[in-house]
Every structure is written in structure tokens, then in C-alpha cells.
Structure 1
Amino acid sequence: MLSVSNLDVRYGQFRAVQGVSMNIDQGDIVSLIGANGAGKSTLLRAIAGALPIHSGRVSFKQHDVTTTSSSARVKQGLSLVPEGRRLFADMTVEENLLLGTTVKRSGDWSIERIFATFPNLVKRRHAKTGNLSGGEQQATAIGRALMSNPDCLILDEVSLGLSPLVVDQVYASIDSLKDAGTTILLVEQDLERAIRFSHRAICMLEGKIVLDKLTSDTNKEEITHAYFGLQQSKHQEASQ
């Protein structure tokens, strides 16, 4: 469904993403992990069309979308929930959700289904999002993306700044998307949750992919080593 080939993304002369290639099949749940500054959010934003690509290729549902706009990618079924939620604080929950229909595709997602998926939002329907808790804001941001009826949902730092209890509630709601067959690519800092929640874990280090494995075949130690670059360090020491 989603294919990235030899992708390079730069900020000036700095290569934030370096030659990244990966494939995600329909229905896959993939966690993108790595330390701060590894290039995870940059990669997600480039895939979604929110950042220009220096070189390489992005394909979605066998269509080359490398140079298409983010709105065109949404029309094809690719939606991003950005880091920091990016809600309009002076608008209500309902108004923010309706913004997700600006680019509308056929499907079953509606405001009422969003409220059924995130019941904590029901009583906050007419509240301004600037007055919501972090968990309520995250639910609203996810709901806004779902309103476009995506085939692939990209979630950037879904648990950032949330208490463990609220994170559990958010993930419980996301579980329903898994059951519906939605393809999900998410950034997750919690390694144990990434292993438990996903079919695959992709680990980035210094702008490159250093591990891409089924979580059922990968233990926590292997992921931790890739996360902190320990395997790379051992190889470098052995070659000296």
C-alpha cells in the first residue's frame, strides 16, 4: 500500500532522512521508533506531503505521490495526525472534526462514529479545544484525520505528554481501527507498547533505518540495541 524508496529529506545541507526505503502492506500496523532527532517525524511529514523531498520516491496504492500536495494525498486516502495535534484552539471539538471533511472521501466515518469511538469527547462536543485535556485533544486530532475516511493513518507521537492511563485509553480506541483493517504507521517512544501493538517495528538512527522486523520475531533487547545504536558501535569497535 505504501512504499518509500531511497528517500532523502534535508533542512538546508542537513540530511534529516538519508536513503530510507520501506514497504507497508494493507492492514499492517507499523511502529516507527528511535531517539529524539532520529528523523522519524521528518519521515512521516515527507510521506504525508507536508515536507518537500530532496530525492527518492513515495508511492501510495501503486501511484507515485512524490510531488503531489498533502491534500491530494488525503484524497487518495493518506492522512496524518501531526505531532503536537495542531488543533484550532478557539474552535470547538465539533468544528475541528468538521475540518477533516474539507477533503472528503467515501466511507463510514462520521462525527457520531467519532464520538462512539472516543466517548470522552461526547460531553466536550461544543467545548473549545484549547480548554481540553491532552487526551481529549489527541482524540480530537485522531478523529479529525479519520473524518476523511483514510485507508492509511499516520500518527506522529500519539502518546506524547499524556499520562499512562490516558495513553491506554487512546490506544484502546485505536485498537478498533486495527480491527477494521486500517493501515497504521505511528511514531511511538514506548518500546514495549510498540512491540505489543504493532506487527512490525522500524527503528531509525541518525536519519537511517537500522532495524525493520516483525515484532513477533524481535525481542526488546534487539530493539533497544538498535534504538541506541549499540550494534553500530560494536561493529565500529570490531573494525578498529
Structure 2
Amino acid sequence: MLSVSNLDVRYGQFRAVQGVSMEIAKGDVVSLIGANGAGKSTLLRAIAGALPIHSGRLLFKQQEITNTSSSSRVQQGLSLVPEGRRLFSDMTVEENLLLGSTVKRSGDWNIERIFSTFPNLVKRRHAKTGNLSGGEQQATAIGRALMSNPDFLILDEVSLGLSPLVVNQVYDSMESLKDAGTTILLVEQDLERAMRFSKRTICMLEGRVVLDKLTSDTNKEEITQAYFGLHQSSKQEVS
């Protein structure tokens, strides 16, 4: 469904993403992990069209999207839940959700289904999102993305700043998306949570992909070594 080939993304002369390649098939659930500054959020934003690509290629559903707008990518079925949620705080939950349907695509997601999926939002329907709890804001942000009926959902730091109880509630809702066959790519700092939720785990280090494996074939030690670059350190010492 998504093909990323030799992708470079830069901030000035700084290469935040360096030669990243990956293939994500329809129905895949992939966790993207790595330390702060590894390039994860930059990669997600570039895939979603929120950042320009310096070099490389993006294909979505076998169509070239390397230089297309973010709205065009939403129209094709790719939607991002950004880090920090980025809701309109002076607008209500319902108004924020309706913004997600600005780009029209056919599908089963509508505002009532969002409230069914996230029942904690029902009583907050007419509340301004600036007055919501972190969990309610995250549910609203995910709901807004679902309103465009995406085939491919990207979630950046979905559990950041949330209590363990709220994280469980958010992931319970996301399990239904996974079971429905939605393709999901998410950034997650909680390694154990990421490995339980995903079919594949991709680890980035200093802008590069250093591990890409089925989660079932990956152990915690291997993840830790990739996360902290221990393999690279060992090779440097040997050389």
C-alpha cells in the first residue's frame, strides 16, 4: 500500500531522515520506535505531506505522491493524527470532528460512529476541546482523522502525556480499527505496548532505519540494541 524509497528530509543542511526505505502492505500494523530525535515524527509528517521531501520517492496504492499536497493524500486515503493533537481549542468536539470530513471519501465513518467508538466523547460533544482532558483530546484527534474514511492511518505519539488508564482506553478503541483491517503506522515510546499492538516493528536511529522485522520474530534484547545503537557501537569497537 505504501512504498518509501531512499527518503531524505532536511531542515536546512541537517538530514533528519536519511535514505529511509520501507514497504507497508494493506492491513499491516506497524510501530515506529526510536529515541527522541531519531527522525520518527519527521518521517511521518513527510509521508503525510506536512513536510517537503528533499529526495527519494513515495508511492501510495501504486500512485506517485512524492510531491502531492497533504489534502491530496487525504483524498487518496492517507490520514495523520499529529503529535500534540493540534485541535482547534476554541471549537467544540463536534466542530473539530466535522473538519475531518472536509475531504470527502466514501466509507462508513461518520460522526455518530466516532461517538460510538469513543463513548467518553458523547457527553463532551458540545464542549470546547481546550477544556478536555488529554485522553478526550486524543480521542477527538483520532476521530477527526477517521472522519475522512482513511485506508491508512498514521498516529504520532498516541500515548504521550496520558495516564496508563487512558492509554488503555485509547488502545482498546484502536484494536477495533486493527480488527477492521485498517492499515496503521504509529510512533510509540512505550516499547512493550508497541510490540503487543503491532505486527511489525521498525526502529530508527539518527535518521535511519536500523531494524525492520515482524514483531513476533523480534525479542526485547534485539529491540533495545537497535533503539540505543548498541550494534553500531560494537562494530565500531571491533573496527
TM superposition score normalised by structure 1: 0.99
Give the deviation of 1:29 after TM superposition.
Answer: 0.1
Q: C-alpha root-mean-square deviation of aligned residues, in Å?
A: 0.4
Aligned to 1:134: 134
Q: Report the Cα distance in structure 1 between the residues aligned to 2:109 and 2:61, rounded to whole angstroms.
A: 21
Report the equivalent of 1:157: 157
Q: Find the aligned partners of 2:123 and 2:237 in 1 and give their Cα distance.
A: 58
* Cα distance in structure 2, aligned partners of 1:154 and 1:205: 20
Alignment correspondent of 1:95: 95
User: Per-residue displacement from partner, 1:188-218 (whole Å, max 9, x unpaired)?
Assistant: 0011011110000000000000000000000
Note the 1:24-173 alignment, pairs <5 A.
24-173=24-173
Could you list the structure 1 runs, at least 4 aligned residues long, displaced by more than 6 angstroms after superposition: none
Secondary structure, aligned partner of 2:67: coil
1:167 partner amino acid:
V
Letter of the 2:96 counterpart: N
TM-score with structure 2 length normalisation? 1.00
CA distance in 2 between counterparts of 1:175 and 1:72 reads 27
Post-superposition Cα deviations, 1:145-172, rounded to whole Å, max 9, x if no partner, equal 0000000000000000001110010000
Which AA in structure 2 matches 1:192?
A: E
The separation in 2 between residues aligned to 1:220 and 1:160, in whole angstroms, is 21
**Residue 18 of structure 1 corresponds to which residue in structure 2?**
18
Equivalent position SS for 1:181: coil
Give the structure 1 partner of residue 178 of structure 2. Answer: 178
2: CA distance between counterparts of 1:226 and 1:234?
A: 12
Equivalent residue number for residue 226 of structure 1: 226
Letter in 2 for 1:43: L
The one-letter amino acid paired with 1:35 is A
* Alpha-carbon separation, structure 2, partners of 1:58 and 1:142: 24
Aligned positions, number? 239
- Runs of 5+ consecutive residues of structure 2 not aligned to the other structure: none
Amino acid at match of 1:235: K
2:208 aligned partner: 208
What is the distance in 2 between the residues matched to 1:236 and 1:136? 46
Find the residue that maps to 1:59 and give its secondary structure.
strand
SS at match of 2:83: coil
Residue 104 of structure 1, CA deviation: 1.4
Report the residue type matching 1:212 in the other structure.
D
